[in-house]
Amino acid sequence: MINSLSIDLLIRIKNGYRAERKSISAPNSKFNRAILDILKKYSFIKDYQVKEEDNKMLKIQLSYTDFQAAVTDIDILSKPGRRFYEKSSSLPWGKTTNSLIIVSTSQGLLSQKEAVSKKLGGELIAEIY
């Protein structure tokens, strides 16, 4: 389930790319690290690490290819006041061919493609493209 910390993470990433930053920081949580693992797997970020001074913050390195940002926009689909759930057969495909839709399933956070292949539905978290 998405919470305000996770929404904050996604907004920080979106704003970091718009400001053309090389790295940003965000609050540390298990759910945030799971989101970042998916973003790293699909090359939307370079890497992330927990800051050594305090374990409360993450340092995220944003990814650019030939001065082009890896992320154009992020749409947050579920919010604390309104949640969106879909079955695996009706998961959306995204706005572009390179879109990544993150789904919270019973087996953890998965991309839309992984959720469809495992026939798992769940809460739609965000679309990154």
Q: Are 85 and 123 in contact (CB under 8 A)?
A: yes
Percentage of the chain beyond pLDDT 70 is: 100
As annotated, the residues of the chain forming the CATH 3.30.1370.30 domain(s) are 4-69
Model confidence at 14, pLDDT cuts 50, 70, 90, reads: very high
Half-sphere exposure of 7 (CA within 13 A, CB side): 12
Span between the terminal Cα atoms of the chain, in Å: 21
Lowest-confidence segment of 15-19, 32-36, 55-59 by average pLDDT:
55-59
Lowest-confidence segment of 19-23, 61-65, 97-101, 106-110 by average pLDDT:
97-101
As annotated, the residues of the chain forming the CATH 3.30.1490.10 domain(s) are 74-128
Give the Cβ contact number of residue 19 at 10 Å: 9
Architecture in CATH of 74-128: 2-Layer Sandwich (3.30)
Q: Kindly report the CATH class assigned to 4-69.
A: alpha beta
Q: Which residues contact 38 (CB under 8 A, 6 or more apart)?
A: 100, 102, 109, 110, 111
Q: Are 38 and 15 in contact (CB under 8 A)?
A: no
